[in-house]
Amino acid sequence: MVSVTLTVNGEKRSASVAPETTLLKLLRENFNLTGAKLGCDVGDCGACTVIVDGKLVNSCLMLAGQVDGRDVLTIEGLATTDRLHPIQKAFEEKGSLQCGFCGPGVIMSAKWLLDQNPNPSVPDIRDALAGNLCRCTGYSKMIEAIQAIAQDGAKA
């Protein structure tokens, strides 16, 4: 077994897991943070996307042991008790999500993008979402929502 202690959405958490456990499984099964999804388990679809130490990561490709001592941000860490995150609000207003399965991954990619670049162009946005597969929406309303946030100048 491997012991890991990490910060998840601002809180210190620890777990003892089998060494081959992925970060994705750690989040979903040990911490009940089921926002990150298992779409392929091999890093192709992006449904498991989270942010580790400020970097965008496919959590199915990281081992739990690799996040020991690190800072992980998941979809559950964006909203507060009384406020949706601006990205979540924009996605809701524009109807950007349909079945929602790819949603958490896409929103984390969008957050990462807006953190790096508060005023992205459409090609920038398409680039940032390129690792997130979506079958329902054609990405159009996601791009619209992210553009709207950029135009509002809201801080991500």
Pick 22 or 52: Cβ nearer another protein: 22
Q: How far is the CB of 118 from another protein (least distance, A)?
A: 19
Pick 53 or 92: Cβ nearer another protein: 92
Q: How far is the CB of 84 from another protein (least distance, A)?
A: 5
**Pairing status of strand 2-8 against strand 71-73:** parallel
**DSSP code per residue over 92-131:** HHHT--SS-TTHHHHHHHHHHHHHH-SS--HHHHHHHTTT
- Structural tokens at position 146: 């992210």
Q: How far is the CB of 65 from another protein (least distance, A)?
A: 13
Pick 42 or 155: Cβ nearer another protein: 42
